[in-house]
Amino acid sequence: MVRISPHRIPTRKRRIIAYIIHYAIRIPHLIWRILTLRLWRERSFPAIVRKVLIIRADGLGDVVMSMPAISALHDLFPDAEFTLLAGAPSRALIPHLCSIERVIWLDLPWAQRGVKRIDWSELRRVLAEIRRADFDLVIDLRGDFRNILLSLFMGRGYRVGFGCSGCGYLLDREIPSGEDRHQVEHALDAARALGATAGEVRFDLAVFEEDRRSVDDRLADLGVEGNRFMVMHPGAQWAGRQWTVSGYAEIADRAIRVLDLPVVMTGIARESGLCRQVMERMDDNPIDLTDQISFGEFLALLSRAHLFFGVDSGPMHLAAALGVPTVVLFGAGDPHAIGPYGAGHVVVSEGHRFPCSPCAQDHCRCEGADCMAAISVDSVWKAIVSGRDCPTTDS
């Protein structure tokens, strides 16, 4: 019997729907395989892999966590052209991915919570483009039954992916998925299953020299030398992942006063209101770069920083991918699965105090169970100063 992953399908109602779809398709699929004699004959892996399509049409952080797997697959098939099926949230990131030669854009409601419905005409256009490209290999790194169903209309390519949300029997090769694994390792399992050798985990994230020069000049004008500064990025796509305004302000003031560590505030346009509230609450003045630098300059800024402080977000994953030590606050999310990957990071969380955590993070249904507000300033400060695990740290 299939087990639907609560991490991939987080709510009970959606898991029930996934189970129904899984078994509703299973019976006619078995009948079809018997009638076509495919029950005993599996499709063979392509002898030569010239074109690879990676399906990762979801959030910025999700794409970042898939980068080591894409790099490993690129090493495995060095002569192949790699195309990424991506969504709007990762548009600015794509030029910085060293292992991707081409991108096809598609926004899907199950991959992006901001997308309410399918654009059917766009979907037909994209599927036709994919079929014309004639990919040898189609790999879904999300592990979503809806992506698997879509892949059936993507041509003759050999389909690889995870059945953790159902319909894995529709794949040519289903990769076993472990529950207690980081999403970086989860994605790497697909590369390993196809023959990639275990080696150094590489994110292959390019920081362009012109962006470095631009950031260096701007910081020099502001009196910041070397990497002696902390990037504070308080915003997140989901309100349930954000900490308190007073907490951010207190930590920033302490960093400036006690550690003599300049604080660089960053955020995109929709996060400017939150950043402004934090700065108005502060006694000292941070360096405000909110909505003032490009994505490439943001990467250059992160790569130079002494420390990143923020919450569960795409920028946090970018900082970790660049090897920047991070102090990250987690509430309803599972840091063991989607926390900062690698050494030198500290996750501060009070999630273990709440029986409802981890959860889907859509909105909190438990009155008085605000797991982000439960994080104290002192526990965060201890993590920033010491860089070691503290009593409220799950890392």
Task: Read off the pLDDT of residues 15-53 as tens digits, 9 standing for 90 and up.
Answer: 888 889 988 998 888 888 787 766 655 789 999 999 999
pLDDT at residue 390 greater than cutoff 50: no
Name the percent of the chain lying above pLDDT 70. Answer: 92
How confident is residue 189, by pLDDT bands cut at 50, 70 and 90? very high
- Collect contacts of 168-175 with beta carbons under 8 A, ≥24 apart: 168/2, 169/26, 169/29, 170/25, 170/29, 172/42, 172/43, 172/45, 173/45
Cα separation, 32 vs 9, whole angstroms: 28
- Give mean pLDDT, residues 262-284: 95
pLDDT at residue 391 greater than cutoff 50: no
pLDDT at residue 394 greater than cutoff 60: no
pLDDT at residue 368 greater than cutoff 90: no
Which of 26-40, 248-262, 368-382 bottoms out in mean pLDDT, i.e. has the lowest?
26-40
Decide which of 392 and 245 is more confident: 245
pLDDT at 367: 58
Half-sphere exposure of 245 (CA within 13 A, CB side): 12
pLDDT at residue 361 greater than cutoff 70: no
Cα separation, 184 vs 358, whole angstroms: 19
* pTM exceeds 0.85: yes
Q: Domains of the chain (ranges plus CATH)?
A: 12-193 (3.40.50.2000), 209-386 (3.40.50.2000)
pLDDT at 304: 95
pLDDT at 83: 98
Helix (H, G, I), strand (E, B) or coil at 30: helix
How confident is residue 364, by pLDDT bands cut at 50, 70 and 90? low
Q: In degrees, to the nearest 5, what angle opens at C-alpha 153 toward C-alphas 147 and 156?
A: 110
- Collect contacts of 207-210 with beta carbons under 8 A, ≥24 apart: 207/96, 207/296, 207/299, 207/300, 207/303, 207/322, 208/96, 208/296, 208/300, 210/296
pLDDT at 392: 39
pLDDT at 245: 95
How confident is residue 388, by pLDDT bands cut at 50, 70 and 90? very low
How confident is residue 184, by pLDDT bands cut at 50, 70 and 90? very high
Please name the amino acid found at residue 261: L
